[in-house]
Amino acid sequence: MSTWYPYRLACPACAAPGSIALLKGIHISRLPMVKADIREGRFQVYTCPECGHRTQVEAPSVYTDFPNGQFIAVEAPNPPDLPAARRRGREVFDACFTFGPDIAATLGASIRHRLVFGVAALREKVLAWDAGLDDRVVEALKLDLLAEEGFGRKDHILRLVAVLPGLHLLFARLRPPVTADRVPHPAPEGGALPPGVPRPAAGIGATVCRGAEVEGHVTVPALRYERALQRRAHLLREHLGLSDEWVVDVYVGG
């Protein structure tokens, strides 16, 4: 069951103190309004009552939408220890399904699972899967778009922000590094994370990140996605990292 815990923070713009409610675990089947917030880009966004500055708060959690077969472990962006983050995601999944009762193991076999870093990455997985898109193909399209414009993988960041009517894809182009101003905050009140929340890197509870600066948008017509989908096997051979079982994100890893 999902519950909330208060997280105190200082506005990164004016330093006014404030508080935001964070979820421990996200079970979307129970909380459709949370899914709406994620899809609309409002999830864990703190708006300072003093100056209006909007801050994305990042915290480890687990997103599940069982009716739609989705399990997404969420970690803060730029994990200091990627293998440890992968291990945590797998452990939570195993605890839920693989080593659970038979009925859970059966359910787990039909559930897609991913590990993402940050709310923007969570949002694009949810948008893609809800629209019936293949997230590996979506990532391959990003690489195509960057190469077309002569950019490297880290020159700017593309995140899916909407699937338009007709299944055209809208990407935001964000200025990297998105989390340069990340400030570690102490763990939530009580000094410890609530039970069920995957343990983040030592000493880091939630983090605040300066809202990513949007430089512009790119639209990918549905036909281009369809063509990429037909070339899926070829694209996955070309970009081996996209076949990872857990992390399907061109911005994570080497």
Would you tell me which residues interact with Zn ion (CB under 5 A)? 11, 13-14, 16, 48, 50-51, 53
CB of 9 to Zn ion, least distance (A): 10
CB of 10 to Zn ion, least distance (A): 9
Residue 155: count other Cβ atoms within 10 Å of its Cβ.
12
Report DSSP letters for 217-247, one per residue.
EEEE-HHHHHHHHHTHHHHHHHSGGGG-SS-
70 φψ region: left (φ > 0), alpha (ψ -120 to 50), beta (else): beta
Helix or strand (DSSP H, E) at 91: helix 82-93
**In Å, how far from its chain's centre is CA 179?**
14
Closest C-alpha among 191, 181, 154 to residue 58: 181
Nearer to Zn ion, 11 or 141 (CB): 11
CB of 122 to Zn ion, least distance (A): 25
CB of 47 to Zn ion, least distance (A): 9
* Rounded-to-integer distance, Cα 1 and Cα 26, Å: 8
CB of 49 to Zn ion, least distance (A): 8
Nearer to Zn ion, 197 or 212 (CB): 212
Nearer to Zn ion, 53 or 185 (CB): 53
CB of 16 to Zn ion, least distance (A): 5
* Rounded-to-integer distance, Cα 45 and Cα 186, Å: 18
Nearer to Zn ion, 51 or 147 (CB): 51
Radius of gyration of the chain (CA): 18
Nearer to Zn ion, 29 or 47 (CB): 47
CB of 20 to Zn ion, least distance (A): 13
* Rounded-to-integer distance, Cα 95 and Cα 230, Å: 36
Nearer to Zn ion, 11 or 235 (CB): 11
DSSP label of 211: P
Nearer to Zn ion, 50 or 155 (CB): 50
Closest C-alpha among 229, 198, 153, 243 to residue 23: 198
